[in-house]
Amino acid sequence: MVDFASLAGAAAMTAAAATAQIHGGQQIVEHGSSAGAPPCASCHGPQFKGDPSVGSPAIAGLSANFIVQRLDHYAGPDGHNAMMRQVASSLSPAERRQVAAYLSTLPKPR
């Protein structure tokens, strides 16, 4: 027999965890991290639509998996962009996932 109350409780806990992850990512994206990562808007623009004057791409609305892959790349030995290496290295793997979760919820620029 299926315990629907337990399933509902587990679903609620999962939803709460996802909301907390997105909120944590929003804080980092908007204000930077305590380890020195600047707010994403400082290079990617106020709505994260990119800034051609500094060569930064749009990051709003990209998939969370893609964003995590890119941040992990920049934090690793093959990361070729000095600014993004500093940013990604300042974020823990959990913080990278939070940032990705939040950015993926934003509308893609036109």
Q: Which residue has the higher pLDDT, 71 or 17?
A: 71
For the domain made up of 4-105, give the CATH fold.
Cytochrome Bc1 Complex; Chain D, domain 2 (1.10.760)
Q: Rounded CA gap, 47 and 45, in Å?
A: 6
Rounded to 5 degrees, what angle do the CA atoms 50, 66, 106 make? 50
Average of per-residue pLDDT values in the chain: 86
Q: Are 102 and 26 in contact (CB under 8 A)?
A: yes
Share of the chain above pLDDT 70, in %: 79
Arithmetic mean of pLDDT, 35-42 = 94
Arithmetic mean of pLDDT, 103-107 = 96
- All structural domains of the chain with their residue ranges: 4-105
Exposure on the CB side of residue 25, measured as CA atoms within 13 A:
23
Query: What is the tens place of the pLDDT at every residue in 62-90?
Result: 999 999 999 999 999 998 999 999 999 99
